[in-house]
Structure 1
Amino acid sequence: MIESAATTSAPSKELLSIEDLPDEVLEFVLGFLPPYKDIHDCMLVSKRWRRCVRNVIKIKRRNLNKAINDFDIVWKTITPAAMAPTITKRYSHSAAVHDNSMYVFGGCTCSMTTFNDLWRLDLSKRLWVRPLTMGTYPSPKACSTMVCYKDSLVLFGGWTYPPSYPLHQSWHLFNELHTYDIKANRWTCINTAVTPPPTAGHSVSIHGNWMVIFGGLQRASNVVHSTKTNDIWKLNLETWNWYKQETFGHLKPQERYGQSQTVLDDENVLIMGGSGGPQIFFSDIWILNMKGNHWKWIKVEVRNSHHAPPNLWCNPVCKIEDKLIVLSKSRQNPQSPFMFISRGVWTPPVDPRGDNRGELLQRRPGRIDMADRVVDHDENVNGRRGTLKGVKRNNAGDEAERQMLLSDPNKPGPSGAPEPNERMGLAAFNDPNVDVDQKMNARRLLRQEKMKLSEEKLKAKLCIAAKHKAKEFSKPKKNVLGMYVLDVAHALDSEPYVTWMPIKDPDLERDGPEETMLYTFVSGKSELIMFGGIHKDDGSLIACTTNLSQQVSNSLHFITAPRYVI
């Protein structure tokens, strides 16, 4: 009776659900979802959720823009496990984003070969998937361009290493045009009557139903060596016809490759940086106006150039609102020592003939065709520094020693006194060759012992050096990638100019990944995605002159805005 009275007097508790949360709290909870498929599926719950999801997407974009303006970004790194089934390490590959996935094609390996595989990164789950594609596969290649048009990927150009035989071939360029139908999961090779020359290292952008390419390294059909160019080609993505576009006036950029190309609007594209060959780096910026049939080049003034990145060659660019983001060597990085990697990777060479010449060569860009490699005169096709065993050789030193011992029976010993001649006995048993051979064998044994001692000392030194290198590998990274921001808000004015923004707090650059080159850098939904490349950190370059597996990366790096508390 007492218990029933107590239960009736106690207030009843109502069950609460997520629908009872305020909009601000619900948006904060939804903000933890990846800005891809999962958060878009939440729009199907109710009208209220649809409104909240739209606010979350808008807030994420605004926060990323604010984080870039303040240089207050967050790095998130995903490194695949050693034995996990995932994409292979690579550099000089191509990447493009379509809906909730990032696609990666081709690239170079650690063993001086190229890929022609296609991988898809599920940006919601952060997992790699390799589609079992059908159709006509592209050739294995690197330094090609891949862009997204509707539900297809358009792949053009590229280069690959020469085959082993026949010898002394230069690397091969391509002018192949392939499309990948994402829904049908099929590659298609498109053959056209008119096509650009074989090209690599060019830049590309999509404008409506046109694909525009600029510059690069090209090779004509009747030419052996490659040449840089500043030609413009455009492809109609509906009829698949190529056209070479001429420009109005004499003002135009110099021939180059490795530049970046960014769409400003439907009629203007921005070209930045690039390389014109050894010791030629570009940091200039141009606008290509594509209005009407008469296209023209416009030179853009660059302000605050002392805040620009040290390198604008082979640096991908992402555009967020009216800002261009470039990743390059951090402002806090010390001057990295000159590096030498294996023959398959282009790097500035070191000249041992003098310090002054070495300083000049330090400013040179590398070569992909291995032309800067120092010639080793002891190298041959099958091996190096070897001798054939079992072959009788005429050793002039041993023969001279033998004649000396035969002609001087009373050769002085170490003390200066003549050595006793044991051949003064019976003449019938006096064979001079027997005694001389014994002395020569003794001296040979002595030389062999000295060689063994020197080999043991050398092995001990190598072991000590290996231990030091292992310690250096375990040290924290020294050189990191820094973010550089270019303000292009006034790039389309009557007197156009762009401005490199100064960093507000240099300490904000300490969390970046290791200094890397030949990576891809694309824009996702409210985040920027960096993949692959070659590490340039001092610690990762030591003892890697023949094996690039320690340098080439398959890590993913995401740039996002910091999460703000309600």
Structure 2
Amino acid sequence: MSNNDEICTYSKCIEDLPEEILLRIFRYLLPYKDYSSIRLVCRQWERLGRVTKDWRMNNFYNNLSLSTSPVSIHWHLIDPPKKFNLIPRFSHSVCYVDSKRMLYVFGGNRDMATSLNDFWCLDLSTRNWERILATGSYPPPKCSSTFIDDEQGNLLLFGGRSMIYIDDIHMREQLHHELHSYSLEKNTWNLHKNLNEPGPICDHSASIININNQKRMIIFGGCMIIDDQYQQSTPQRTNDLWQWTNTWTMIHVNGTKPEPRKGHSQFTLNSENILIIGGSSLTRVCRDVWLFSFQTNQWTQITVNNQYPNDFAPSNDDLSYLSFCMVLPSQILITFGRLRRHPTENERHTYSQYDFSHCDKKSREELLLASSSSLPSSSSDENDETNRYSMVHKRLQLPLINNKYNMMDISSGFQMYRLDISNLFSLNPCVTWLPSKSTSVFGSPSRSSLYYSLIYARSEFILFGGIEKRKLCLQKHFSDKDNRSQSISGTLAFITLSNIAL
């Protein structure tokens, strides 16, 4: 046997691995450009790539929709890039474009008195930020705008608000009525002028709907200035419905309308219906859900089940400030809010084997410190408290990988809330808040946030920014009045639902 024959006999490559190993490796790839790349290698990889993609999507949908089975919620936190001046923000505008595999972010608030107009994109294939330097009629600094894909190569940015200085000391709120479109192909901003526009508006909702093969942007509600004297008027909540094609038109509504509101979420269900949820009116937090039909031009209020218990639906303190996103194949709306209760004994047992090894170091340390209250003590003497904390610190020095911990009374971080909308078009239309997937979400940002953005993209959720609610929640005797000062969150989190940390 020649030397060349020996080399050929003993040389191995990745293609020689069993398909089970390749499938396991492919599961850890990001579901964007990586999936497209492996399908170009060979026919075997193309087939395994399709299998992996189907597995990931089915696994995500099943874990999302099952109402009783516990599931691991994996948080992947990424700090803002140091080489870019990506300022932490809240009330910003985001738009996900699946064909580009990009998340676009515009403006927002740096603090209560400073608005931004920087424009960024996040490449979901590499998790890298890039600032976009576009030409054309650039939008002014503002927050609380709507930013959506018109599905024709443009991103539509409408409305918003900002704070302007009247003099060296005093400031006032300014609402915007401009409609800008950003061309993905030309990298330019265009300003659309129309005399029939709704007027200065913010905190409204918007979505794209295809009616008779015509794309229309539909906006609803928000805070609007009605008077022609914009600078002298006070913003008022509205329940008007507008559409934009190449011109603005107010939609005439038959029958009852939803209560005027702001800060709500809106979704296009099909070519005939849109859905709104959440927000706040002048007197209350809106826990109702409404469906609008373009066939009849009528609003229908939908019955909401399980809307008040804290373990099913978000609390009033958070609901008017939370963003919702829709996962159509599962017909479920998702949001993340603070957990407002402690786990029951049954839940302790159910989640006693939950694997927290994927959490970040800080979350694991908080978990272990809190678990000190449940460590067994040999006597009732007060000196046992010292021994108890020494045991905790010893456990902190042990390897945390593949360890399993008991779920304790911690209510920090984000809880995932799910609203089932699968019965919207049944004989008795209703939506239902489903039981929580887990008692608390470990590995999430150390403090829960409001005014963040939440996007669903290819079997994962993307959460960015917000205002952190600083609250001491590891001790039971603290009340809701013990909120500390608020700060801006620069958190970028990718959230997956799986039995393994993808």
Aligned to 1:322: 331
Q: Say whether residues 1:115 and 2:116 are aligned partners.
A: yes
Shift of 1:280: 1.3
1:274 to 1:555, Cα distance in 2 relative to 1, 3 A: same
Aligned to 1:16: 12
SS in 2 for 1:299: strand
Shift of 1:12: 8.1
Aligned to 1:80: 80
Shift of 1:504: 5.1
Query: CA-atom RMSD, angstroms?
Result: 2.9
Higher-Rg member (1/2): 1
1:114 to 1:66, Cα distance in 2 relative to 1, 3 A: same
CA distance in 1, matches of 2:18, 2:195: 62
Aligned to 2:290: 286
Aligned to 2:378: none
270, 274, 281: which is aligned to 2:279?
A: 274
532-541 or 35-44, which moves further after superposition? Answer: 532-541
CA distance in 1, matches of 2:54, 2:93: 29
| 2:262–2:280 Cα contact (<8 Å) kept | yes
Deviation digits for residues 313-344 of structure 1, max 9, x if unmatched? 1311111221111111114479xxxxxxxxxx
Pairs within 5 Å for 1:106-255: 106-110=107-111, 112-150=113-151, 151-165=153-167, 170-208=172-210, 209-220=215-226, 221-222=228-229, 224-236=233-245, 240-249=246-255, 251-255=256-260
SS in 2 for 1:117: strand
Counting aligned pairs with the same residue, the percent is 33
1:493 to 1:183, Cα distance in 2 relative to 1, 3 A: same
1:12 to 1:46, Cα distance in 2 relative to 1, 3 A: closer
Structure 1 stretches lacking a partner, 5+ long: 335-476
Aligned to 1:297: 299
Pairs within 5 Å for 1:367-378: none
SS in 1 for 2:217: strand
Shift of 1:273: 1.4
39, 46, 52: which is aligned to 1:56?
A: 52
CA distance in 2, matches of 1:271, 1:118: 28
Higher helix share: 1
CA distance in 2, matches of 1:276, 1:269: 20
Q: Say whether residues 1:43 and 2:39 are aligned partners.
A: yes
CA distance in 2, matches of 1:45, 1:316: 40
| 1:71–1:483 Cα contact (<8 Å) kept | no
CA distance in 2, matches of 1:146, 1:159: 14
43-52 or 215-224, which moves further after superposition? Answer: 43-52
Q: Which amino acid aligns with 1:196?
A: P
| 2:471–2:484 Cα contact (<8 Å) kept | no
CA distance in 2, matches of 1:127, 1:283: 37
Shift of 1:564: 4.3
Structure 2 stretches lacking a partner, 5+ long: 344-409, 474-480
| 1:272–1:312 Cα contact (<8 Å) kept | no
CA distance in 2, matches of 1:11, 1:54: 33
User: Given the two structures, how large is their TM-score scaled by the length of structure 2?
Assistant: 0.75
Q: Say whether residues 1:256 and 2:261 are aligned partners.
A: yes
| 1:285–1:300 Cα contact (<8 Å) kept | yes
Pairs within 5 Å for 1:324-403: 324-332=333-341
Aligned to 2:489: 553
The number of residues matched between the two structures is 407
Q: Which amino acid aligns with 1:260?
A: S
Aligned to 1:443: none
Q: Which amino acid aligns with 1:554?
A: G
User: Given the two structures, how large is their TM-score scaled by the length of structure 1?
Assistant: 0.67
Q: Which amino acid aligns with 1:75?
A: W
1:554 to 1:169, Cα distance in 2 relative to 1, 3 A: closer
Shift of 1:138: 0.4
Shift of 1:60: 1.4
Pairs within 5 Å for 1:404-415: none
Shift of 1:95: 0.5
Shift of 1:510: 3.2
Shift of 1:166: 7.9
Aligned to 1:370: none
Q: Which amino acid aligns with 1:259?
A: H
411, 423, 441: which is aligned to 1:509?
A: 441
